[in-house]
Amino acid sequence: MKRTSTIYLCALALTLSAFAKPATRKSAAPAPDKAYLQKIWDGWSTLDTANVAKFYADGPHTFFDIAPLKYSSWEDYEKGVKAELADYKSAKFILNDDIAIHPHGDLVWATATVKEEMTTKAGKVEMGTFRWTVVFEDQDGKWLIVHEHVSEPLQ
């Protein structure tokens, strides 16, 4: 009888543990806020990837951009975006007021729309609104982008 009770108790404990929420590590660094997010877009406004590299994590991470479709690391992203930005002489990106920031342990995901105004080297002004989803990870007390998705609605 004692052995059967022990088996039932162990089975109950295992069953209940399956419903337990896994512990998430709480970051010591304050979560990114609107000002931090705007700093990222201010860096992109310079059209120089060196001014935004500090916001992106190294290594194998996926970044989706308007053109081309996908990059598998910051290094690929930086190289590809440099080629795209070479056709422009100025840019300005402003976060709209629809920013939503969601901290979750050592991760933060955020969404927003971004007003863009870019001028080509030929003088053509392009204006529009981007959709932006970004995932940050706290790496040694610094929030770095480990996933990003930038897209523009079809006209």
Distance CA 15, CA 108 (A): 31
Lowest mean pLDDT among 10-19, 61-70, 85-94: 10-19
- Residue 12 is predicted with a pLDDT of 36
Which of 14-18, 51-55, 80-84 is most confident? 51-55
Buried (b) or exposed (e) across 77-93, using 16+ Cβ within 10 A? Answer: bbebbeeebeeeeebeb
Q: What is the pTM of this model?
A: 0.80
CB contact at 8 A, 100 and 113 = no
Q: Is the peptide bond before 32 cis (omega within 30 degrees of 0)?
A: no
Lowest mean pLDDT among 12-21, 27-36, 41-50, 136-145: 12-21
Distance CA 43, CA 28 (A): 25
Share of the chain above pLDDT 90, in %: 65
Sequence-ordered list of residues with C-beta below 8 angstroms from that of 64, at least 6 positions apart, any chain = 70, 71, 148, 149, 150, 151
Domains of the chain: 25-151 (3.10.450.50)
pLDDT beyond 60 at 24: no
